[in-house]
Amino acid sequence: MEYVPFDSSMMGRGILIVHFVDTSDNEWTLMTSHLESMKGRSKFSGLGLFRISGYRKPRMQQFNEILKYAKQYSNRKVVFGGDFNMRDTELKDIDDSAYFKQNITDSWIKAGNDTNKYTWDLGKSNKLFSGINIHLVINDNKILDLPFQPRCRFDRVYFNSNVNCHSFTLEGQEKIKKDEITGNNVDKFISDHFALAVDVQ
């Protein structure tokens, strides 16, 4: 096991890498990371609020570094994922796009569907169900002071062409009602992110 800090991180982020051999003698490399968060920083001045820098560039530098390790270990079964904070539009910032498109698969695209797309789902929406408008609050652990509550696919799991992915689900979608130790009422999700459960072989 090794930990590689990102030179580009302003948030102390890095990659955790684990190598192992399974009972069928398959060699695996697993990698996880929490890539740089948020779109950018904002600053107040006499002219008001304005954005002074973004985190997209360092975030994608970090993703590209993970891809270099995935390519380095391409003879092994490679799975990597985590809270990547990525937007789909950022995928065009991948350095080796040919390698990524030909060798790397997104587990949600492979085995997920629209019902388990959003892992950071603060969204509120009015949906028509049997002719009745129902106001849904997906995850209310965090409410942002915005005219809307975002729904994003920040958390992702990717794998290389040596890996088969059989299923993709989200976990942690049920609220914890009571603290089992103290007995206090909680009524919260375990996180404002939902967890990914991916079956790979």
Dump pLDDT digits (tens) for 39-90: 765 554 455 544 545 899 999 999 999 999 999 999 999 999 999 999 999 9
116-135 core/surface letters (b: 16 or more CB in 10 A; e: else): bebbbbbeeeeeeeeeeeee
Residues 164, 111 contacting (CB under 8 angstroms): no
* 104 vs 136: which has the higher pLDDT: 104
Mention every residue, 6+ apart, whose C-beta is less than 8 A from residue 183: none
CATH of 2-200, one of 3.40.190.10, 3.90.1150.10, 3.60.10.10, 3.60.21.10: 3.60.10.10
Using one digit for the tens of pLDDT, what is the confidence trace for 134-168? 333 466 656 656 555 678 999 999 999 999 999 99
Which of the residue ranges 1-5, 21-25, 67-71, 189-193 would you say has the lowest mean pLDDT? Answer: 189-193
